[in-house]
């Protein structure tokens, strides 16, 4: 059974909002864009892997996704952890596209559709290090005899794995997602004696989920940006131009000429994802680029946002 999923995390929408609100001319823009693309691929890859894991017997396995644990060296992160009474299995998920070539000395190169080559860190030592750190973590929590295995899972079915020479250089622990279920069944057959009973297994799964330390998902802080670095204004829902102008209770686009009654909702959602969950009349005027406090008040009241504070200190709670 899946006991932890970060599907509801707001990190991906916040990154996506940053790709709109950080100017393409800002020095961090390309970094923001890369992070958003990587995270989008990671979420897609995670879904692929979760699909394979659905075939495991629910009564025998606990599955924890995106676990970040603290140890003496700092934090270590496990993409997916499969727990059973007889073994633990770390899945290091790689969302690699194209052709992945394993060379001598553990070199890993990706060749994309344009025949461009990129070097990658070999994922096996990385997974081994996680295995070591998890083992120590479990020891310090009184679990001393649970064997820990690991697999590096290539999430996308179209990715090709190749060896650079005729020697078999692809590590045995590196597999395609389509083989995952069968490999787990093989591993289960190798470990027949239980190290934990059902109750202890459940307690351990809960303990790990409880020890999870979420990453700071404040995207602005991560890129060392302030709200002043963001593009303000309401974007046109048709052509993306900004800012739209408020005219007769509607938003008008000066670029394509379209009108919208509710284009401010997307802007306020960006505000919520990046800046804060509540907004004052003054902040709304600035972010939506309207001059009149009455217009800002009209918009915020019309949307029925909850209110805290009186008169000048009033804040609207964005949903
Ligand atoms: Zn437009």
**How far, in Å, is the centroid of ligand 1 from the Cα of 260?**
10
Share of the chain above pLDDT 70, in %: 97
**How far, in Å, is the centroid of ligand 1 from the Cα of 262?**
14
Residue 6 has pLDDT above 60, yes or no: no
pLDDT tens digits for 159-203? 999 998 888 789 999 999 999 999 999 999 999 888 899 999 999
pLDDT at res. 5: 55
Residue 8 has pLDDT above 60, yes or no: no
**How far, in Å, is the centroid of ligand 1 from the Cα of 61?**
51
Dist. CA 104–CA 251, nearest whole Å: 61
Distances (CA, A) of 262 to 4, 69, 303: 36, 43, 9
**How far, in Å, is the centroid of ligand 1 from the Cα of 240?**
6
pLDDT tens digits for 260-313? 999 999 999 999 999 999 999 999 999 999 999 999 999 999 999 999 998 888
Dist. CA 263–CA 299, nearest whole Å: 11
Six-digit token pair at 285?
Answer: 């005027």
Mark the residues whose beta carbon lies below 5 A from ion ligand 1: 236, 238-239, 241, 253, 255-256
Dist. CA 211–CA 73, nearest whole Å: 16
Dist. CA 243–CA 246, nearest whole Å: 9
pLDDT tens digits for 132-151? 999 999 999 999 999 999 99
DSSP class of 309 = S
Distances (CA, A) of 139 to 77, 135, 144, 171: 17, 6, 5, 28
**How far, in Å, is the centroid of ligand 1 from the Cα of 117?**
39
pLDDT band at 2 (very low <50, low <70, confident <90, very high): low
Dist. CA 199–CA 145, nearest whole Å: 16
């Amino acid at each position: 059974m899946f006991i932890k999923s970060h599907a509801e995390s707001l990190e991906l929408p916040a990154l996506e909002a940053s790709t709109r609100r950080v100017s393409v001319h800002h020095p961090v823009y390309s970094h923001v864009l890369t992070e958003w693309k990587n995270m989008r691929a990671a979420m897609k890859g995670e879904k692929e892997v979760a699909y394979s894991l659905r075939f495991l017997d629910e009564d025998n396995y606990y599955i924890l996704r995106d676990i970040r644990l603290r140890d003496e060296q700092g934090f270590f992160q496990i993409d997916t952890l499969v727990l059973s009474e007889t073994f633990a299995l770390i899945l290091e998920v790689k969302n690699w596209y194209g052709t992945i070539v394993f060379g001598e000395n553990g070199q890993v190169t990706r060749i994309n559709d344009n025949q461009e080559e990129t070097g990658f860190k070999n994922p096996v030592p990385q997974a081994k290090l996680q295995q070591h750190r998890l083992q120590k973590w479990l020891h310090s929590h009184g679990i001393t005899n649970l064997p820990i295995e690991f697999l590096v899972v290539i999430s996308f079915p179209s990715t090709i794995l190749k060896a650079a020479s005729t020697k078999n250089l692809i590590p045995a622990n590196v597999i395609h997602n389509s083989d995952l279920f069968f490999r787990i069944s093989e591993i289960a057959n190798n470990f027949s004696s239980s190290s934990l009973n059902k109750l202890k297994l459940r307690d351990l799964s809960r303990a790990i989920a409880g020890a999870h330390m979420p990453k700071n998902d404040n995207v602005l802080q991560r890129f060392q940006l302030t709200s002043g670095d963001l593009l303000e204004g309401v974007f046109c829902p048709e052509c993306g131009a900004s800012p739209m102008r408020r005219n007769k209770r509607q938003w008008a686009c000066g670029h394509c000429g379209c009108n919208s009654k509710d284009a401010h909702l997307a802007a306020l959602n960006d505000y919520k994802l990046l800046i804060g969950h509540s907004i004052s009349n003054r902040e709304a005027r600035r972010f939506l680029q309207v001059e009149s406090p009455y217009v800002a008040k009209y918009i915020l009241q019309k949307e029925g946002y909850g209110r805290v504070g009186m008169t000048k200190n009033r804040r609207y709670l964005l949903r």
